[in-house]
Amino acid sequence: MSTEKEYKGGCFCGAVELRVVGKAEAMGYCHCTSCRQWSAGPVNAFTLWPLNAVTISRGADQVGSFQKTANSIRKWCKACGGHLLTEHPGWGLTDVYAASLRDFRFEPMLHANYSETVLRLHDGLPKLKDFPKELGGSGTSVPE
Ligand SMILES: [Zn+2]
Ligand SMILES: [Zn+2]
């Protein structure tokens, strides 16, 4: 028996359910144009998990997939259009949108791609120009 914590989440209509286990590797907000266009929102709240920590536990046949760039495979529910997650194979991580998870405590650490922001947030968290160094970015901070 695993003692790892488990969290459930899913889409807008409930046809798709997902499960994540363990601990998120990182959490925060992404301000990039891709996230904004895909989410139709000004900012994306992300939680990053190892690929094998995330399972589609119901409605896998309803999951649509779209890949525009090599490192992002975006998935949503074909029944309701609700967004679920983005796989980042190049990082070995899956971004399960914080809003897709239930009963999960979202603890943001940083803001990524803040140079592209359309919504400045004065929360005192680090604002990175692009991505952290560990994810291939510059790790450079920019003003809030
Ligand atoms: Zn749905
Ligand atoms: Zn982004």
Q: Which helix (H) or strand (E) is 111 found in, with range?
A: strand 110-112
pLDDT surpasses 70 at 62 = yes
The protein residues having their C-beta less than 5 angstroms from ligand 2 (an ion) are 30, 32, 35
CA of 77 from ligand 2 middle (Å) equals 20
CA of 114 from ligand 1 middle (Å) equals 30
Q: What is the pLDDT of residues 35-59, one digit of tens each?
A: 999 999 999 999 999 999 999 999 9
In this prediction the pTM is 0.94
Nearest to 44 by CA among 35, 53, 54: 35
Of the bound ligands, which one is closest to the alpha carbon of residue 56? Answer: 1
Q: Which helix (H) or strand (E) is 33 found in, with range?
A: helix 33-39
